[in-house]
Structure 1
Amino acid sequence: MPGLLLPLTRAVTYTRWLHMLVGAIVPFACATVYPGLSNPSPHHLLLVAVLPIPLALAAGMVPSVRHAEGLQARLMLFPGPHARVRHDEDPGVSTIFSASWTDRARTGAWLILRLETGLALALVTNTLLTLALSLAGAAAGEPGLANPLLNVSGAGWVYVLLAPLPVLVLVMVAAGAGALMAQAARRLLGPSVTERLAELEKRTERLLERNEIARELHDTLGHALTLAVVQAGAARAAGDPDFTDRALEAIEETGRAALEDLDRVLLVLRDTGQPAGARPALDEAGRLLDSARSSGAQVEAEVTGPLEHLPGPVSREAYRMLQEALTNVLRHAGPVRIGVRITVEATRLRLEVRNPAPDPATVASTGGGRGLRGIRERAALLGGKARAGQHGGHWLLHVDLPL
């Protein structure tokens, strides 16, 4: 029983009721012109329901009507702050203008449904409220106070108990009709296939942007922190003032470069409209190799082909891949011998990084895996491939990118 009476306490029941009753304004306005509202016969009531249909279909052809109806439906048919219940679910009702004839046809169908439902509910509301008023009049000793469909004769205290029943029935009918109208709104005013695809594309773009920013932060800060840790550890172990000075200088230079990259990424996040600054490209790979050498690693590099003529996206992403590869070597294997080979061909760029295979226990303890996944994602976005694994006692990373 408490669950049955729950709609009585929810404000959304009454906002839905009002939303449906507003739809009856147009039929009644048309009825005042023809056939009139004085003692209407069933035939006249049928005309009242049919005459506004062409107007509803014509209004549905206007693109802005879908926008207005969507806003009204969101506000009045679905739970919100006015409903006294927490409801964070998306109502699934579109609020954009009609973009196709299908949207216009669905809007016209919604308007017809709203007019007919509003007219029917207005008649039911009038009948049940009149009956309640008649029962209340009979309880007060005036049974002829109203003239409902059910004639009430006589007077008596029993009418005091019966008078609230039509009102309760009316509220329950309004609650049920409102729930059905909310479902109909989702179907007729819900996003079309085109709108769903557009929203999916926007969501995909946002996810790609977030992933790109995450990769940028991971590669930049991870590289700088790894070099700082390795250089600081080597300087402490060496105990040589000259080596310590060189290590501190390398740490300072690496930190400054990381701060520049961090400022560029933060500018993108803030969306200030200012240029984010140029990202480093592969022709600046010497800076990465020098940083690795300053950490104690023995880097042997072989570059074939003009790096400065590479396409911008390929060059910038390849720089990040090489940066992450060197970071992984220093993090998991330490300052070891590293072989780097960069080959620029007519249609492809090949990047190889080779180093002694690290201890699997060391890789597990340092949490490996995210860097390689980022390299594979960058390569896939450019239509290339990246693979890594042990090869002849060494760890080999091979990246193949189309130009």
Structure 2
Amino acid sequence: HNLLAAVMDNQLFNKQTRLSPDGVLWKRVLDVNDRALRSLRTSAGGPTERATGFDITAASEVMAILCLSESLADLRARLDRIVMGFTADGAPVFAKECHVTGAMLALLRDAMMPNLVQSVEGVPAFVHGGPFANIAHGCNSVLATRMALAHADYAVTEAGFAFDLGGEKFMHIKCRQSGLKPEAVVIVATVRALKMHGGATLDSLAQPNTAAVERGLENLDAHLEAAALFQRPVIVALNRFTHDTDSELDLVRRHCQARGVPSAVADVFGSGGEGAVALAETVLAALPAESPSLPFLYAATDDVEAKLSVIATQIYGAEGVTLTEEARARLAQFEKAGLSRLPLCMAKTQNSLSDDAKRPGRPRGFTLTVRDFEIANGAGFLVALTGAMMRMPALPKVPAAERIQVSPDGAITGI
């Protein structure tokens, strides 16, 4: 990613590119949360001075491309069609014009190979790719999923955060591009999260509170209803924490039973693999003999506003969508260049079904606000930035780094 950025700036300096400095969209990336890098100016005082910024590495289009590519040839083609920006008259400028696709491919060649790891009990797993689901598409690589399917009777893959983010993108981006289709959907729920969505404060989540759990169940219902749109069996996995009480867990299971949704408690942290046997058996029992084709809620060729409306109303529960003037101007630029007929990748808070992180539970009567768009032409999607969501996160008021120490004998603590 940063190699392409450096070469692009070098070509701007030497006047070897069609890019207009003001038309550059390609930022740099860094794997450190730093709000000061969200917006800055580069090449200060020079003829190519411009506004730019950094994204977090997990939001890099190259990360998404790596996870969606299925061969070196596919990877090369995707890198070639990255849109770095636009000419002064609005024509897109592609990465292939920098003539460094070969160098980028050389850096990524070995990275394409999925990493085989194992649990403490020897269960194999492929860990490959890291696009966050709140600012990117939130799925591991297509190659890792295919490899897992080739080496086991069943493959379990994660789509990050909840179904409104990772789940929806898994279906509309990863499955649409690869042709993969899941046989079932497992929604992972926790008593702690349900309490939070039921109004409990963060410092009280370890305290028994069945009333808060019950209020939070409507958030779970929203995810169950969204998952059901894709016509797969839906199972709830209750990920047990140490402080969860039997009455709280039973409340959630009774609620699922009343909805006709299979559920099981998973105590993997406390009991290892034995703690997940009931969940595995529940999932296997729910699998159909044959799955229908995977339905998509929108066509990639639909108008962007129509696609936004489908996701906002059917997945999030919004009443509608509003685009800011900046978003409309950016969308018009992409439409003029023929770059809008792509699936959407929503950049939205993970703390709420809405675009407001301070609205837990199941918000109603809200309108989703899209403030800007970004193009990920190589990855094959259009990013819609909603609410206050940033693609470069910030540190909290008290960063975790402040807790880390090294003793005189070299022992590290606080991690």
Short-chain TM bin: under 0.3
Q: Highest relative contact order (Cα 8 Å, sep 6+), 1 or 2?
A: 2
Which is strand-richer, 1 or 2? Answer: 2
TM-score by length of 1: 0.23
Flag the structure with higher helix content.
Answer: 1
The structure with more radius of gyration = 1
